[in-house]
Amino acid sequence: MNGKAVPTIETLVRTRLPTAHGEFQLHYFSNPVDDKEHVALVKADVAGKTNVPVRVHSECLTGDVFGSRRCDCGKQLDLSLQLIEQAGFGILIYLRQEGRGIGLLKKLQAYNLQDQGLDTVEANIRLGHLPDERDYTQAALILHELGVSSIELITNNPDKISGLEAMGIKVEKRVPIESVYHHENVDYLKSKAEKLRHLLRFDQPNTAGLVPEELQFMQPFIEKLDELNHDRGRPPFFTLSYAQSIDGSISLNAESSLPLSGSASLKLTHLLRAHHDALLIGINTTLVDNPRLNVRHVEGDDPQPVILDCLLRFPEDAKMLGASSKLPIVVATDHAPADKQRRLEAKGIRVYRVEQSSDGHIDLVALRKLLTELDIKTVMVEGGAEVINAFLLEGMIDYCVITIAPKIIGGLRAIEKPCRPMLEIKNCRYHPLGNDLILYGALLVDD
């Protein structure tokens, strides 16, 4: 630009790269600009598409490779790949400009100066450098080579936006990417916000700040839920979440409950509850477990309890009546006794009647219509087995978060009836959490 000839680059090598976040194509480019080995991880065919999710990530050996807590770079790298994978397409450009462009040696020297009391900007200046010497010409050239000119940029840095737009890339939207801040990196992040204009919000609640560090792997899904909760006029999004043993059991039998997941997995369950509009269970789970259906292990609001109860067997002294900040919604059929409905409604419990399915249960299509009318946009389905089976057989589950505990029980299985057609979790993820394994991903019908 500015009358100067713009250099061009080309892809020299492209190879398949399976990662913990999904499968990408890794592009290695020629480089007439700075002779560094910049690369891009590309998800799906992005050429000619608009609003392509893009992360321009500057190399950070200490954060990306060694997991340094002095910065948020490694977390941002992981979260960006998760966001791109979740979107189903996108690009992560990895620029080899360590330490905001000053190189690894000077960056480590800057660390020592920071330990002596200087902030990250002051340390760079003391070493004879600008606060930020990065350049985004290569990123723009890479995007042009990939056939992309309209992007949603995953960044907190306004300089990236202006740098790319100066090279003809249209930034349609900025996607914030705030990671957890703690005592090791909070001063660093505040310096970036105050002196480098990075768009970070320390005085406001934000999704990243509410997600405990050990549960950060779930943040892209949490952010998706928060977006869905503001998307009015659409049918509810259903998340299936339950714990099972490695042999597929959720309890010893239908008449008993059995704690399966560990404390960390329980914390995850409560995090998911806090980000759903509603929490749905069947009446059998209500009678056997007498659950509280609230959020206790993380900060957050209680979801709206929804109980499927054809004949209104709901106990009038249920724990959830005093434990949750929201009184339950009970969904029954026309066969439920009217006097029980009046008693429940006298306690402030809302009772709705919907059509009955051919097998004598709540008709789930009618239920979805009711929840849409009630403006409930995200629903977490926790069980029990009959409810899990019904939702899967009806094809109403959008996303699964399943906890697998290292136990063998030989008891009641979560899934008893065969799913036809077969269901598959797309791009399934596995994450160890305590002694448990968390399996999660979008649920699709396998054609």
| Percentage of the chain lying above the pLDDT 70 cut | 95
pLDDT in tens, 290-299: 999 999 988 8
Question: Could you give the 3-state DSSP secondary structure of residue 93?
Answer: strand
Rounded CA gap, 378 and 228, in Å? 7
- Give the pLDDT of residue 206: 42
What integer pLDDT is reported at residue 211 of this predicted model? 75
Q: Are 401 and 241 in contact (CB under 8 A)?
A: yes
Give me the DSSP letters along 74-86. Answer: HHHHHHHHHHHHH
Q: How many angstroms separate the CA atoms of 288 and 303, rounded?
A: 21
pLDDT at 207: 41
- The crossing angle, in degrees rounded to 10, of helices 137-145 and 158-165 is 60
CA angle in degrees (0–180, nearest 5) for 7-9-10: 155
Res 171: pLDDT: 96
* DSSP E strands, 215-357: 237-245, 249-251, 278-282, 304-308, 329-332, 350-353
Structure confidence by residue, pLDDT tens digits, 94-111: 999 999 999 999 999 999
* Segment among 12-26, 51-65, 173-187, 333-347 with least mean pLDDT: 173-187
Among 53-57, 175-179, 395-399, the minimum mean pLDDT is found in: 175-179
- Supply the pLDDT for residue 21: 84
C-alpha radius of gyration, the chain, whole number = 25
Read off the pLDDT of each residue in 32-60 and give the average, rounded to a whole number. Answer: 93
The reported pLDDT for the residue numbered 204 is 41
The yes-or-no verdict on residue 203 having pLDDT over 70 is: no
Over 70: is that where the pLDDT of 427 sits? Answer: yes
Query: How sure is the predictor about 447, in pLDDT bands with cuts at 50, 70 and 90?
Result: low
Q: What is the pLDDT of residues 46-57, one digit of tens each?
A: 999 999 999 999
pLDDT of residue 332: 96
Report the C-alpha gap between 100 and 273 in whole angstroms.
Answer: 39
Average pLDDT for residues 298-309, to the nearest whole number?
93
Quick check: 287 and 312 in contact, CB under 8 A?
no
Instruction: Give the per-residue pLDDT at 3.
Output: 53
pLDDT mean over 10-27: 93
Q: Taking 70 as the threshold, does the pLDDT of residue 180 lie above it?
A: no
pLDDT at 426: 83
How confident is the model over 179-194, as a mean pLDDT? Answer: 77
Q: What is the pLDDT of residue 209?
A: 44
What is the pLDDT, as a whole number, of residue 5?
62
263-283 residue pLDDT tens: 999 999 999 999 999 999 999
Q: Read off the pLDDT of residues 339-391 as tens digits, 9 standing for 90 and up.
A: 999 999 999 999 999 999 988 899 999 999 999 999 999 999 998 889 999 99
Q: What is the mean pLDDT of the chain?
A: 89
Alpha helix ranges (H) inside 88-166: 104-115, 120-126, 137-145, 158-165
Q: Rounded mean pLDDT of 23-51?
A: 93
